[in-house]
Structure 1
Amino acid sequence: MDRAQKIITQFGPNGRRSMLDAQELCARLDAARQTLPHPFEAERVRIVASVADAISRHKGELSPAIRYLGFWTRAAALKLLERSFAATIPPHTLRRPRGMTFHLPPRNVETIFLYSWILSFLAGNANIVRLPQEVSGTVGWVLDLFLAALDASSERSQLFVHYPLDTDLSGLISAHSDARMVWGGDAKVGAFERLPLRNGGKSLWFGDRSSLCLLDGAAVGALGPAEREALAQKFFNDVFVFDQMACSSPQALYVVGTPTAHLEGVRNLLAAIGHVATAKGAIGAAGHQIAKMTAAFSAAASGDVIDLSWRGTELTTVVSGVAERVDRRIGGGFLSVVFLPDLAALNGVLRERDQTITHFGFSEDAIRLAAARNLGPGVSRWTPVGSALDFDSVWDGYDILSELTRACRVG
């Protein structure tokens, strides 16, 4: 590969861009990992919290995803995160940063790179993040806040870059990295797993995942109008943010109950979700509306569908008459509904690739029991309806702060 093919764009504050070649980049990567702070070093915590303060000042103008990022990174939340991290450290042990972390975020959830980088930054690591050629909108604004704060503190160990994927640069960066976080599906994971890291390096893989919602049919049927509206608002956040394409976005509703006793209550809830989506203007592209209609008719042709509905152009629902697993990842407001005889029957429909189960209507003890019953691979998160997209430092089965640090035993 000649030098012209190895040009890398580095993102700087205030929209500045500079160019690096591969040799310059590798020199910076190696230098950045030599002297690193301990996890939750005060200046790094201050930088993250300062951006949270800026988000808070403008929260009325920002999307729910950005508002949650600000809430998650506020000073009080960072103190709780630090205490939680410290509680995981065994006696006579220090946690130290791994070194250089290479981040490859997904295309479909543009805020993920911020969470991925923030956790590694707080862990004390140097970082390089591959971004799209342009980062626009409020995500670009948040990125610029961080870049400005890093620049003001003379922090030089953090690199945000773009480069073409059809080069050997990913392999080159991997060879200079101590950890790597790959988000975006099995194909992307497969492309990177053959690229070696530094000796002793660690990769965190975030491949293809599916998620679902678990409802108690009796609890749904007992909802009054105001309660139903409140639940519908929460469903909107889970389903329509990121166009239902996040790994934690529910694709199907599994209802504990029977169609005879509980279908009407479920219909009422789905109608309320459709009304919320209409009010919020969640109208998909014409092509996606056709895709939802095609998927619905295809499901109906199977003969197992007992109810099919279009609630405006926003929400399409298909209710199955068979208590079996349904796999339809259509996105953009498409929900499959399956009735289960009891909570224990959920185990029969879970798969290894399942990640998040949102739930409504069950006691905390019932959910803990259901989670304890699932001893097979898959399902790394149970969370109430409305919080499907709320990122956490424990994600997809990884305790990310622990994974991005190394243990140093002192005796």
Structure 2
Amino acid sequence: MKRVPDLPVEILVGGRLSKIVGQPLRSYSHEAIEFLAELSQRLLANPAIRTYPDLAGFAYWCRKANLQRLVKGWNGQGRRIGRGIAFHIAPGNVPVNFAFSLGIGLLAGNANIVRVSGVRYPQIDIICAEMDRIAKQPGHERVASMTRVILYPHDDAVTAALSESCHARVLWGGDATITHLRAMPVSPRCVDVVFADRYSLCVMDASAVLAAEKETVESLAAGFYNDVFVLDQNACSSPHLVLWRGEEAEVDKAMLRFWGAVEHVLLSKPLFPVMQGLDKYAHLCRVSILLDSCVSVTRHRNLICRVRLKELSSGIEHHKGQYGFFFEAVIKSVESLKTIVGERYQTVTCFGVDPEEIISLVVDTGWTGIDRVVPVGKALDIGVVWDGYNLIESLSRIVADC
């Protein structure tokens, strides 16, 4: 294994790359939990948290109470230890993803080098500034010595040098990017955990929406807003397809009620940039030409664009939009999902539908896609199990006695 060299990168957290301590900790170490808990406290006290819901989500995730809950559910029994140095390449379209990736790598017991996107989101600067302050405090020397957050333009030479020096890589990106990165030489025992292009959807029961109290529908709409619009529909777990279970007439009424509530939420938020409306319209023109199954379009000002499909057909996942662009269809039962689900499918959010119905279909019939089924409003709640991986187990090794 090559030592980590000093490279032409900007260091956002930590010291020189060559000084990183690669000696791993046990998984869920006291040091890691204390560092992340302190980070949570600082972020929750930062006034900026009211501006950035994703920043708040990360801060709540690494609260000490939540980390202790994870420890209680952990069956590693103290026999797991980090692999060494984990190199993370974070996505460029989800600002706080780098922090979740780093936090999970640290909980697994690894030293971590995290490359953040060249897009300098305010959330990145806020988190890095707080991490740097904590790293300089007494009691956090161990974690500080094994933590680096870096920034550099696309440079295969730098990425290759870091890849050759690590024991695990956590790669976030599109299919082409992942394929390119996996072709780079790594040590024989290096483990890659990859998060490539994924597609997610929402399934709602029309009768449940119609029967719900006004406050419940308002809460449902607020949760849907968080799933989609907080990250401009860029998250791999944000729904792009909304399926309605029920009869046509019932579904039409449920759609009116639900989308009216979502529009009400959007009108209470800052206005979208004009370009987002133009992007939605351009995408509508494209799919209208490419897809024969489009039967109608409903637009809510420039906020939402809904394309009704006469039937579900495979390949719909290749027509993702952004900023509030949705395909919709009516289904008789969740078994209809089998006509479209492939390995690219990740998260199903649902309302009025028993998650076990969908989970059982995935497991019992051997579907290659759908890794996660959660209520509407929970799409962005990242955890130590993600994309079908138990990330703590993937990024650590077990010391056996047999």
Name the TM-score, length of structure 1 as normaliser.
0.88
Residue aligning to 1:342: 333
Using the alignment, how far apart are the partners of 1:121 and 1:353 within structure 2? 28
Using the alignment, how far apart are the partners of 1:243 and 1:258 within structure 2? 31
Indicate yes or no: 2:19 matched with 1:7.
Answer: no
* Cα pair distance change 1:290/1:49, threshold 3 Å: same
Residue aligning to 1:39: 27
Indicate yes or no: 2:379 matched with 1:388.
Answer: yes
Using the alignment, how far apart are the partners of 1:359 and 1:133 within structure 2? 34
| DSSP-derived class of the 2:230 partner | helix
Trace 1:4-403 onto structure 2 (pairs within 5 A).
6-12=7-13, 25=17, 27-29=18-20, 32-33=21-22, 35-58=23-46, 61-85=50-74, 87-88=75-76, 94-133=79-118, 135-152=120-137, 153-154=140-141, 155-283=144-272, 285-300=273-288, 304-325=293-314, 326-327=316-317, 328-403=319-394
Moved more, 366-375 or 122-131: 366-375
Letter of the structure 1 residue corresponding to residue 337 of structure 2: L
Using the alignment, how far apart are the partners of 1:211 and 1:351 within structure 2? 11
Using the alignment, how far apart are the partners of 2:68 and 2:7 within structure 1? 41
Using the alignment, how far apart are the partners of 1:309 and 1:298 within structure 2? 16
* Cα pair distance change 1:304/1:201, threshold 3 Å: closer
Indicate yes or no: 2:399 matched with 1:408.
Answer: yes
Letter of the structure 2 residue corresponding to residue 345 of structure 1: S
Letter of the structure 2 residue corresponding to residue 206 of structure 1: F
| DSSP-derived class of the 1:170 partner | helix
* Cα pair distance change 1:324/1:219, threshold 3 Å: farther
Q: Is the 8 A contact 1:274 1:312 kept in 2?
A: no
Moved more, 57-66 or 178-187: 57-66
Question: CA deviation digits over 1:25-53, x for unaligned, max 9?
Answer: 4x435xx21x3322222222111001111
Using the alignment, how far apart are the partners of 2:381 and 2:264 within structure 1? 23
Q: Measure how far apart 1:362 and its partner are.
A: 1.6
Question: CA deviation digits over 1:217-260, x for unaligned, max 9?
Answer: 22123234332222111110011011001100100101112323
Using the alignment, how far apart are the partners of 1:128 and 1:341 within structure 2? 48
Q: Measure how far apart 1:343 and its partner are.
A: 1.7
Question: CA deviation digits over 1:80-99, x for unaligned, max 9?
Answer: 112223x155xxx8211100
Q: Measure how far apart 1:115 and its partner are.
A: 0.6
Using the alignment, how far apart are the partners of 1:259 and 1:234 within structure 2? 25
Q: Gaps (5+ residues) in structure 2?
A: 1-5
Using the alignment, how far apart are the partners of 1:227 and 1:132 within structure 2? 38
Percent identical pairs in the alignment equals 25
Q: Measure how far apart 1:65 and its partner are.
A: 1.2
| DSSP-derived class of the 1:77 partner | helix
Moved more, 394-403 or 39-48: 39-48
Q: Is the 8 A contact 2:96 2:123 kept in 1?
A: no
* Cα pair distance change 1:172/1:305, threshold 3 Å: closer
Name the TM-score, length of structure 2 as normaliser.
0.90
Using the alignment, how far apart are the partners of 2:320 and 2:155 within structure 1? 29
| DSSP-derived class of the 1:324 partner | coil
Q: Is the 8 A contact 2:91 2:116 kept in 1?
A: no
| DSSP-derived class of the 2:343 partner | coil
Q: Is the 8 A contact 2:277 2:302 kept in 1?
A: yes
* Cα pair distance change 1:373/1:338, threshold 3 Å: farther
**CA RMSD between the two structures:** 2.2
Q: Is the 8 A contact 2:95 2:123 kept in 1?
A: no
Q: Gaps (5+ residues) in structure 1?
A: none
Using the alignment, how far apart are the partners of 1:261 and 1:134 within structure 2? 45
Q: Is the 8 A contact 1:66 1:139 kept in 2?
A: no
Letter of the structure 2 residue corresponding to residue 165 of structure 1: H
Question: CA deviation digits over 1:93-144, x for unaligned, max 9?
Answer: 8211100000000001011110110111122211111123564423311221
Q: Is the 8 A contact 1:251 1:329 kept in 2?
A: yes
* Cα pair distance change 1:199/1:151, threshold 3 Å: farther
Using the alignment, how far apart are the partners of 1:167 and 1:254 within structure 2? 42
Q: Measure how far apart 1:404 and its partner are.
A: 0.8
Q: Is the 8 A contact 1:8 1:161 kept in 2?
A: yes
Using the alignment, how far apart are the partners of 2:331 and 2:157 within structure 1? 50
Number of equivalent positions: 389
Moved more, 59-68 or 99-108: 59-68
Using the alignment, how far apart are the partners of 1:372 and 1:406 within structure 2? 27
Q: Measure how far apart 1:8 and its partner are.
A: 2.0
Letter of the structure 1 residue corresponding to residue 345 of structure 2: D
